[in-house]
């Protein structure tokens, strides 16, 4: 599979945004715990994943109205706004932006998937997504380790503002990617139908529960690590979430191109469900 420049620019620009966001999210509870505002951090994380799950079914309609590139650019603003608003520690503002981020995330990931599949030959879908996820995981790892290092030398506000710089660079890089138009636009009624579709409703509790458990994981455990060691070790802990995707994404993508995506989709949801029960 030959990697096109447009695809590479998109993967790197998207990854840079999450260089900032993944780091800011990981250290959120740790930093707010220092000022006894840890409940704000937990509520913020829960709002993000709750609104993401609720608005996922109608995100296709939104993407069809803006087209994937515009959907990615507009929703990326919420990610950068979230990282920036955290330095204010304003409870109301953080809650509002967290809810907006949840909505934006559903649009972002729908736009992202649509964009990648639109610029990739069908027989290479899995490999393209594998390369994308490899770059994404690598950027998240670098971001978390960088913020951990910054917090060891600078205070919360300076560190969070500095970690925003790569994300802003990634945002402006998005304007360089090729524009696309979707020939078949999703109908709003179809979006609502999807929302009340029993097949989707079965997965809603899983989405919400997964988000809830992830929120607790990146909330409670980093605080314990910080108390036992230091900020930089929190980043090392965060790396664990991305090590497996980093080294396996492309291989899994190649397998999906050969055996089909439905089989892997079912297998992964079984693994996620089992992990949540454990």
Q: What is the CATH number of the domain that holds 25?
A: 1.20.1250.20
| Exposure string for 199-223, b = 16+ CB within 10 A, e = fewer | eeeeeeeebbebbbebbeebbebbb
Task: pLDDT band for 239, please (50, 70, 90 cuts).
Answer: confident
34-43, 54-63, 251-260 — most confident range: 34-43
At residue 266, the pLDDT reads 53
Span 177-202, mean pLDDT?
Answer: 54
- From 14-28, 141-155, 208-222, the region with the lowest mean pLDDT: 208-222
- From 4-8, 56-60, 147-151, 192-196, the region with the lowest mean pLDDT: 192-196
Strands (E), the chain: none
Span 46-56, mean pLDDT?
Answer: 86
Average pLDDT, the chain: 80
CA atoms within 13 A on the CB side of 54: 11
Is the per-residue pLDDT at 130 higher than 80? Answer: yes
Percentage with pLDDT > 90 across the chain: 38
- From 141-145, 235-239, 263-267, the region with the lowest mean pLDDT: 263-267
Domain range for residue 254?
A: 5-277
Contact by Cβ (8 Å): 119, 180: yes
Residue scoring higher pLDDT (257 or 233): 233
Helix runs in 86-197, H state only = 91-118, 125-153, 156-173, 188-195
Percentage with pLDDT > 70 across the chain: 74
Span 235-254, mean pLDDT?
Answer: 73
Residue scoring higher pLDDT (130 or 275): 130
Query: Cα(278)–Cα(16) distance, rounded to whole angstroms?
Result: 33
Residue scoring higher pLDDT (156 or 259): 156
At residue 207, the pLDDT reads 53
Which tokens belong to 242? 């991305």
Span 9-28, mean pLDDT?
Answer: 95
Residue scoring higher pLDDT (201 or 248): 248
At residue 163, the pLDDT reads 96
Phi/psi-derived region of residue 79, left when phi > 0, alpha when psi is between -120 and 50, beta in every other case: alpha
Query: Cα(133)–Cα(87) distance, rounded to whole angstroms?
Result: 29
Span 21-33, mean pLDDT?
Answer: 91
Query: Cα(147)–Cα(113) distance, rounded to whole angstroms?
Result: 28
Residue scoring higher pLDDT (3 or 269): 3
- From 38-42, 246-250, 256-260, the region with the lowest mean pLDDT: 256-260
Contact by Cβ (8 Å): 160, 86: yes
Residue with tokens 């993401």: 52
Residue with tokens 């736009």: 111
Of 68, 89, 86, whose CA–CA distance to 78 is shortest?
Answer: 86
Query: Cα(62)–Cα(111) distance, rounded to whole angstroms?
Result: 9
Query: Cα(31)–Cα(33) distance, rounded to whole angstroms?
Result: 5
Q: How many residues does the chain have?
A: 278
Contact by Cβ (8 Å): 238, 113: no
Query: Cα(145)–Cα(236) distance, rounded to whole angstroms?
Result: 7
Cα dihedral sign for 206, 242, 63, 251? negative
Is the per-residue pLDDT at 136 higher than 60? Answer: yes
Q: How many domains does the chain have?
A: 1
How many C-beta neighbours within 10 Å does residue 152 have? Answer: 12
Residue scoring higher pLDDT (2 or 17): 17
Span 7-36, mean pLDDT?
Answer: 92
């Amino acid at each position: 599979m030959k990697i096109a420049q447009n695809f590479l620019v998109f993967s790197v620009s998207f990854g840079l945004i999450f260089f900032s966001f993944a780091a800011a999210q990981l250290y959120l509870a740790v930093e707010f715990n220092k000022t006894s505002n840890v409940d704000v951090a937990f509520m913020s994380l829960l709002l993000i994943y709750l609104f993401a799950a609720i608005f996922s079914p109608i995100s296709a309609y939104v993407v069809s109205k803006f087209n994937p590139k515009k959907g990615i650019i507009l929703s990326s603003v919420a990610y950068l706004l979230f990282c920036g608003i955290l330095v204010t520690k304003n409870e109301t503002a953080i809650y509002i932006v967290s809810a907006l981020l949840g909505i934006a995330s559903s649009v972002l990931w729908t736009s992202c998937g649509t964009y990648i599949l639109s610029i990739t030959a069908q027989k290479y879908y899995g490999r393209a997504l594998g390369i994308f996820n490899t770059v994404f995981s690598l950027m998240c790892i670098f971001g978390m380790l960088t913020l951990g290092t910054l917090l060891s030398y600078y205070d919360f506000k300076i560190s969070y503002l500095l970690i925003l710089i790569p994300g802003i660079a990634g945002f402006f890089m998005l304007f360089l990617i090729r524009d696309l138009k979707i020939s078949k636009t999703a109908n709003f009624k179809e979006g609502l139908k999807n929302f009340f579709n029993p097949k989707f409703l079965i997965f809603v509790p899983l989405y919400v529960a997964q988000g809830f458990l992830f929120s607790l994981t990146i909330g409670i455990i980093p605080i314990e690590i910080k108390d036992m060691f230091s900020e930089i070790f929190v980043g090392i802990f965060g790396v664990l979430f991305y090590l497996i995707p980093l080294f396996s994404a492309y291989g899994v993508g190649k397998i999906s191109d050969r055996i089909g995506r439905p089989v892997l989709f079912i297998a992964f949801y079984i693994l996620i469900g089992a992990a949540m029960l454990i």
